[in-house]
């Protein structure tokens, strides 16, 4: 699968000097992040409502849901979190999947002498609901119209509510679960009484990375002497994104979704992000027809597209900017949630606006100081366009920073391993895009990292 040269290139990267971003400063309001008034928000949403062009969704959904149940596994192995387990079981009747439990398990739940491990094993393993093996997209999140709704189905419902005509919902999945996703889609089509164009892509195994044994710095091999590889992160999905030809592409995480009855604020801001992109793209198109450095400076003042230290740009620089893919990214206030953040980054003497993950940042006191002073983080609410201001379809690989890879260190089969992750999908893979960061409300970021997060307000039916 890998030539000797390819293995050597990866080995040098894995065991060479860490490849880290040099933060210049965090993006803040009026310095990289734009905050709009209520009237402007309404106007941008209206722009999207009047849009009749092509629109697709791109939602990575291949990750398993096992991390959602970490405290359940720890309880089974060493009786940790007993109080948390008791509270979880006491609330099981409030979860959307409660009706799927067997009658004997329901009886056990209400018993004073309930067998807690039996209940947890039923939820996790194949003799029961088997949640530990399901991808997160197939975990029941909500109830709606007497239906149990998975995360995957909720995205279809809310996407359809956002715009009745959508060219494509594309989900990246594990191949063995494709039939399950198709069945889930059929249920939503029956509910909506319309067909939905859902497509599925898979992470191409050819994008995998070599797993190196940390101790001997050689590729890890199986019993047959075959090199062991590891999936190389969501940056390997760039090829799937590159195959979508819609004018607008909504990119979102599978677990950041609210109950359908609480969708309005979230969908309003999806409209706003798209309306902003349509607005500034139309102004860029005018510049492409009649380049004006003065007009670009006004546009930059409004949208913070590039660092002011670069201004004024030359005609050649303006032409290059107009030939980039475009994205508008929602940013929420940093209140302790996980996620990469928006920063101004210094590279090769140029300051550019980037989304940066913590793993890409040096541990030096200076860089950690910049990190800790950040005010916002990235919840992955992105509206993208793979078409330039000149109307040309762009090869997204031409705007990826190939040297923005990340080194992952893990344990596998008793060995400490290291391997490369491709530049992240919204990090290094979009490092050369023309980017707008917009502040959005924190309340529309409601990811499900633990099964108990489904008890949060955002996941409860609004009555």
| Domain extent at residue 129 | 67-133
What are the residues whose beta carbons fall under 8 Å from the beta carbon of 175, sequence distance 6 or more?
202
User: Tens of pLDDT along 268-301?
Assistant: 999 999 999 999 999 999 998 888 899 999 999 9
210 touches 179 (CB < 8 A): no
d(CA 148, CA 153): 9
- Shared domain check, 99 and 233: no
Report the predicted TM-score, pTM, of the whole model to 2 decimal places. 0.94
| CA atoms 445, 451, 456, 462: torsion sign | positive
Span 386-392, average pLDDT = 95
In a domain, residue 155? The reply is no
Position 340 pLDDT exceeds 90: no
Q: What is the DSSP string of 50-114?
A: T--S-EEEEEE--SBSGGGGHHHHHHHHH-TTHHHHHHHHHTGGGSTTGGGS-HHHHHHHHSTT-
- Shared domain check, 402 and 264: yes
Look at residue 80 in the predicted model and tell me its pLDDT: 83
Position 323 pLDDT exceeds 60: yes
23 touches 344 (CB < 8 A): yes
Look at residue 335 in the predicted model and tell me its pLDDT: 80
User: Tens of pLDDT along 44-73?
Assistant: 999 999 999 999 999 999 888 888 999 999
pLDDT confidence bin for 247, thresholds 50/70/90: very high
Nearest C-alpha neighbor of 324 from the set 188, 224, 435, 448:
435
Buried b / exposed e over 84-96, threshold 16 CB at 10 Å, is ebeebbeebeebb
Q: Which of 76, 104, 133 is the last residue of a domain?
A: 133
Position 463 pLDDT exceeds 90: no
- Shared domain check, 400 and 257: yes
**Looking at per-residue confidence, does 315 or 250 come out higher?**
250
In a domain, residue 61? The reply is no
d(CA 272, CA 276): 6
- Shared domain check, 313 and 419: yes
> Which helix (H) or strand (E) segment is 239 a member of?
helix 238-242
pLDDT confidence bin for 337, thresholds 50/70/90: low
Position 206 pLDDT exceeds 90: no
pLDDT confidence bin for 339, thresholds 50/70/90: low
In a domain, residue 369? The reply is yes
- Shared domain check, 312 and 222: yes
Position 351 pLDDT exceeds 60: yes
305 touches 364 (CB < 8 A): no
In a domain, residue 424? The reply is yes
Number of structural domains (the chain) is 2
In a domain, residue 150? The reply is no
What are the residues whose beta carbons fall under 8 Å from the beta carbon of 289, sequence distance 6 or more?
none
328 touches 375 (CB < 8 A): no
- Shared domain check, 42 and 86: no
- Shared domain check, 21 and 110: no
pLDDT confidence bin for 150, thresholds 50/70/90: very high
Count of positions (residues) in the chain: 463
* Alpha-helical regions (H) of 344-396: 365-372
Position 204 pLDDT exceeds 60: yes
pLDDT confidence bin for 256, thresholds 50/70/90: very high
Look at residue 439 in the predicted model and tell me its pLDDT: 98
d(CA 19, CA 13): 8
- Shared domain check, 360 and 422: yes
Are β-strands 434-439 and 32-34 bridged in parallel, bridged antiparallel, or unpaired?
parallel
In a domain, residue 454? The reply is no
Are β-strands 350-356 and 341-347 bridged in parallel, bridged antiparallel, or unpaired?
antiparallel
291 touches 389 (CB < 8 A): no
49 touches 161 (CB < 8 A): no
Q: What is the DSSP string of 392-434?
A: PBP-GGGG--TT--EEEEEEETTEEEEEEEPSPTTTGGGTTSE
User: Tens of pLDDT along 93-147?
Assistant: 999 999 999 999 999 999 988 999 999 999 999 999 999 999 999 999 999 988 9
3-state secondary structure of 35: coil
290 touches 172 (CB < 8 A): no
The whole-chain average pLDDT of the chain stands at 94
d(CA 413, CA 37): 54
d(CA 270, CA 266): 6
458 touches 258 (CB < 8 A): yes
In a domain, residue 177? The reply is no
Q: Which of 133, 150, 172 is the last residue of a domain?
A: 133
- Shared domain check, 212 and 74: no
- Shared domain check, 321 and 353: yes
pLDDT confidence bin for 311, thresholds 50/70/90: confident
pLDDT confidence bin for 338, thresholds 50/70/90: low
252 touches 380 (CB < 8 A): yes
- Shared domain check, 271 and 411: yes
Percent of the chain with pLDDT over 70: 99
What are the residues whose beta carbons fall under 8 Å from the beta carbon of 401, sequence distance 6 or more?
423, 428, 429, 431, 432
> Which helix (H) or strand (E) segment is 190 a member of?
helix 178-192
Tokens representing 106? Answer: 């329901």
- Shared domain check, 90 and 22: no
Look at residue 146 in the predicted model and tell me its pLDDT: 87
In a domain, residue 338? The reply is yes
Q: Which of 160-174, 353-367, 407-421, 425-439 has the lowest mean pLDDT?
A: 407-421
Q: Which of 78, 113, 133 is the last residue of a domain?
A: 133
């Amino acid at each position: 699968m890998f030539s000797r040269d390819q293995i050597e290139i990866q080995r040098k990267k894995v065991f060479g000097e860490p490849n880290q971003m040099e933060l210049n400063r965090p993006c803040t309001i009026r310095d990289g992040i734009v905050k709009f008034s209520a009237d402007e928000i309404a106007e941008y949403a209206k722009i999207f409502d009047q849009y009749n062009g092509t629109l697709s969704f791109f939602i990575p959904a291949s990750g398993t849901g096992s991390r959602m149940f970490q405290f359940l596994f720890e309880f089974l192995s060493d009786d940790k979190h007993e109080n948390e387990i008791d509270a979880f079981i006491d609330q099981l009747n409030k979860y959307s999947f409660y009706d799927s439990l067997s009658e004997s398990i329901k009886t056990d739940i209400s018993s004073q002498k309930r067998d807690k491990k039996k209940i947890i094993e039923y939820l996790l393993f194949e003799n029961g609901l088997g949640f530990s093996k399901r991808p997160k997209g197939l975990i029941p999140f909500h109830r709606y119209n007497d239906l149990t709704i998975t995360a995957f189905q909720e995205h279809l419902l809310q996407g359809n509510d956002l715009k009745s005509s959508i060219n494509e919902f594309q989900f990246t999945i594990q191949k063995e679960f494709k039939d399950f996703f198709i069945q889930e889609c059929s249920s939503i089509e029956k509910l909506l009484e319309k067909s939905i164009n859902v497509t599925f892509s898979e992470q191409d195994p050819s994008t995998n990375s070599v797993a190196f044994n940390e101790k001997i710095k050689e590729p890890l091999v199986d019993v047959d002497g075959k090199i062991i590889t590891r999936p190389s992160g969501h940056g390997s999905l760039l090829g799937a994104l590159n195959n979508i030809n819609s004018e607008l592409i909504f990119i979102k995480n599978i677990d950041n979704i609210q109950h359908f009855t609480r969708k309005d604020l979230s969908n309003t801001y999806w409209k706003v992000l798209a309306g902003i992109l349509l607005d500034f793209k139309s102004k860029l198109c005018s510049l492409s027809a009649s380049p004006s450095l003065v007009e670009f400076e006004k546009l930059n003042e409004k949208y913070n597209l590039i660092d002011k230290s670069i201004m004024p740009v030359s005609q050649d620089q303006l032409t290059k900017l107009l030939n980039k893919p475009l994205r508008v990214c929602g940013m929420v206030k940093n209140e302790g949630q996980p996620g990469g953040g928006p920063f101004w980054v210094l590279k090769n003497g140029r300051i550019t606006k980037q989304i940066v993950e913590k793993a890409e940042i040096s541990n030096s006191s200076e860089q950690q100081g910049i990190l800790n002073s950040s005010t916002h983080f990235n919840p992955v609410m992105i509206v993208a366009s793979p078409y330039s201001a000149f109307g040309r379809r762009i090869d997204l690989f031409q705007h990826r920073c190939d040297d923005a890879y990340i080194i992952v260190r893990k344990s596998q089969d008793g060995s400490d391993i290291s391997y490369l992750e491709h530049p992240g999908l919204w990090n290094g893979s979009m490092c050369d895009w023309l980017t707008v960061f917009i502040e959005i409300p924190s309340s529309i970021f409601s990811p499900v990292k633990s099964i108990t997060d489904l008890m949060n307000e955002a996941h409860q039916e609004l009555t």
